[in-house]
Amino acid sequence: VAIGLRLKGLREQFRLNKQEFGKSIGVTCQTIGQFEKGKMSPRIVIAREIKRIYHKPLDWIYFGDEIIVPKSAVRANANQSSPESKKKSRL
């Protein structure tokens, strides 16, 4: 059901009806209805179309995770704000 609610919210955000949204990702309006009711989940091929067209990460589509930050970016940020790095920058 959660996937369906996210997809419905996305569809409504773009002010599309089920037929328009379905056509944009290559499925019927009936399939969109099944997604939104939680009776079906989109196959990976369809989820990738949603990602491509609507710029939503697959993690958001399937799990609701909006922002995905690579571990390397997290580590780099942590190193910049550590007390040791602040000492080094003062030297």
What is the model's pTM? 0.70
Q: Do residues 3 and 42 lie in contact, with contact meaning Cβ atoms separated by under 8 Å?
A: yes
Q: What is the residue range of 9's domain?
A: 1-91
Q: Residue 4 maps to which CATH number? A: 1.10.260.40
Whole-Å CA distances, 52 to 37, 39, 42:
23, 24, 14
pLDDT digits (tens, 9 = 90+) for 4-51: 999 999 999 999 999 999 999 999 999 999 999 999 999 999 999 999
How many domains is the chain built from? 1
